Every structure is written in structure tokens, then in C-alpha cells.
């Protein structure tokens, strides 16, 4: 690696080492059938898979999952598995295999058209635009309109720094998004990092599923980048009433949040923020 420095007189070239964020594909299979592929940062892969299925409206409790296994391309599976809905089971990371096969509980139905869909999810935007607002409302298990959680503005202002302080990989690479789950009092419960902002959120939701915390009523989901339509949809899928972002929301994200009763906060930096909807939850 060569670093260019134009701040001094003339151009200086310096050699050195640089950490970069890992990015690899992960294929999700359900019952051995391809479901989707996402580009992600390896680690917390079972959380990622579980959270993605929460976002899709498939899973609601840890007992909805019988087993998760890492597999190779020739269908050989490792012994590293999440078995029989045991939410206390330790999840292994760092497995070199980039396929996770999920066995759902017998009473969990997965529409066949989803199994036939072999979609490709990028680390940049996930499944952008595939879900309409009406479809989100139709699949919401835990509407947030009646969630009367209150969060102080002073607590909100502390969330970005608390999230940044917990981003261990970002501190080395500068190349990862983060999603963090907080209590209304500002206690950090879970933080996950990933090259994809939607993956970071899914990892948080997967952690919540396997620890049997869904729905996440009264909680705050904070993200390190912008607030897209998809991130609002994921918050709603987990019953989270408030989403905060360091950067801007999209217009469709604001529309979905307002229509669904979610509090959406953007440009949360320092001691300033924009509250786009749901300001009644901030005191």
C-alpha cells in the first residue's frame, strides 16, 4: 500500500500497511434450497441469517428455527450448528464456509415463490425497492403505533458516540457500517458491524431473535449511515418504535415511518438532530 500525502510542500509517497474490511458472499439456503445471497463481512453469520428471516416476516421466536448449519458448495455441512431453537447456544464465527442452511420448524410456512426466487443482495442497498409500503403493513407482526416509549433528547445526543466507541473493527478499517440497539435510557444492548448497512441491522435483529427478545418494544435502533426505506422496514419488522441515523433519511423512508407510526431521527450529530416524524416520543 502506498499512501499519498499532498498536505506538505510537494507530494510525499509513503509505504505502509492498511487494514481493510472483509467482504465475502454468504448464501442462505432453507431446507437445502437456495433462498438468497448477500455480500457481507464474515462474523455473526447465524445472527445475520436469522435477522434476515425476521425482516422477511418468516421468523418471530428462536423456536421457529430447528437448525442452522454452515455448508460447503457440495452440500457437505459442518458440525457448527444452531440446534432445536436453543437460544442460549453459543454461535460460532470465523467459519470458512460461506453457505448457511436453515431448517425451519414444521409449522413455519415459507411461500413457495420465495424459494423459487434466487435473489442477489449487494452490500450497498440490500433488496432495494422490492417491497411496497402496503406490503410492509400487511406483514407487520407488531405494529408500533401504540408504543408509547419516551426517550429524552439528551439521551439521543449520546447515542452516536456510544455506538462509535463500540465499533472495534471500524476503528481499524474505517470501512464498516454499524447498527446498535439501545434501551430508552441509552444502555447499549447489542452492536453489530458489516460492510452492508442492512446486514448490520439484520445481525442485531438476529441477536434479538436468538435471545428471545422480540418484539423490541420501547427500544431505539441506531445506524451509522443514512436511513433508507429498507432500514425502516426492518425496524418495523422487529417492533422497534424509533430509528436514528447519523446521516439523512430517504423520502420513502420518511413516508413509510410516518405511515407506520415510527419515530425517525436523522442527522443525529453532536447536539443537533432532525426529527422527521414521531416527535411525540422525544421528551
- Scan for cell 455441512, then name that residue: 77
Query: CA–CA separation, 151 vs 218, rounded Å?
Result: 9
Residue 51 pLDDT exceeds 70: yes
CB 230 within 8 A of CB 125: yes
Write down the pLDDT at residue 54.
Answer: 96
pLDDT confidence of residue 81: 61
Cell numbers that stand for 271 in this block: 447536539
Q: Which CATH number fits domain 24-129: 3.10.20, 1.20.1460, 3.40.50, 3.90.25?
A: 3.10.20
- Phi/psi of residue 159, each to 5°? -65, -45
pLDDT-based confidence at residue 131 (cuts at 50, 70, 90):
very low
DSSP 270: T
Range of 17-21, 138-142, 228-232 with top mean pLDDT: 228-232
Evaluate if residue 106 carries a pLDDT over 90: yes
Which is more confidently placed, 122 or 202? 202
User: What was the pLDDT predicted at 83?
Assistant: 53
Higher pLDDT, 77 or 102: 102
> With 70 as the cut, is the pLDDT of residue 108 above it?
yes
| CA 122 distance to own-chain centroid | 14
153-281 homologous superfamily: Cytidine Deaminase, domain 2 (3.40.140.10)
Enter the pTM of the model.
Answer: 0.86
The yes-or-no answer on residue 125 being catalytic is yes
Domain limits, the chain: 24-129, 153-281
Q: Which of 125, 128, 190, 277 is catalytic?
A: 125
Amino acid at each position: 500500500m502506498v499512501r499519498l500525502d499532498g498536505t506538505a510542500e510537494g507530494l510525499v509517497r509513503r509505504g505502509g500497511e492498511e487494514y481493510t474490511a472483509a467482504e465475502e458472499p454468504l448464501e442462505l439456503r432453507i431446507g437445502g434450497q437456495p433462498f438468497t445471497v448477500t455480500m457481507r463481512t464474515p462474523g455473526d453469520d447465524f445472527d445475520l441469517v436469522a435477522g434476515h428471516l425476521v425482516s422477511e416476516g418468516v421468523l418471530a421466536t428462536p423456536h421457529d428455527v430447528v437448525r442452522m448449519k454452515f455448508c460447503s458448495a457440495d452440500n457437505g455441512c459442518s458440525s457448527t450448528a444452531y440446534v432445536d431453537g436453543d437460544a442460549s447456544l453459543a454461535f460460532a464465527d470465523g467459519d470458512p464456509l460461506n453457505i448457511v442452511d436453515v431448517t425451519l420448524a414444521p409449522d413455519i410456512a415459507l411461500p413457495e415463490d420465495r424459494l423459487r426466487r434466487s435473489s442477489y443482495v449487494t452490500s450497498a442497498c440490500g433488496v432495494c425497492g422490492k417491497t411496497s409500503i402496503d406490503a410492509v403493513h400487511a406483514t407487520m407482526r407488531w405494529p408500533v403505533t401504540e408504543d408509547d416509549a419516551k426517550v429524552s433528547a439528551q439521551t439521543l445526543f449520546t447515542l452516536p458516540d456510544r455506538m462509535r466507541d463500540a465499533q472495534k473493527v471500524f476503528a481499524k478499517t474505517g470501512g464498516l457500517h454499524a447498527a446498535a440497539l439501545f434501551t430508552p435510557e441509552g444502555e447499549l444492548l447489542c452492536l453489530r458491524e458489516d460492510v452492508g448497512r442492512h446486514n448490520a441491522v439484520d445481525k442485531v435483529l438476529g441477536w434479538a431473535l436468538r435471545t428471545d427478545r422480540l418484539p423490541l418494544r420501547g427500544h431505539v435502533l441506531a445506524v451509522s449511515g443514512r436511513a433508507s426505506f429498507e432500514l425502516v422496514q426492518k425496524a418495523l419488522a422487529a417492533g422497534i418504535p424509533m430509528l436514528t441515523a447519523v446521516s439523512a433519511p430517504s423520502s420513502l423512508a420518511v413516508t413509510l415511518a410516518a405511515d407506520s407510526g415510527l419515530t425517525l431521527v436523522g442527522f443525529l450529530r453532536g447536539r443537533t438532530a432532525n426529527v422527521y416524524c414521531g416527535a411525540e416520543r422525544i421528551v
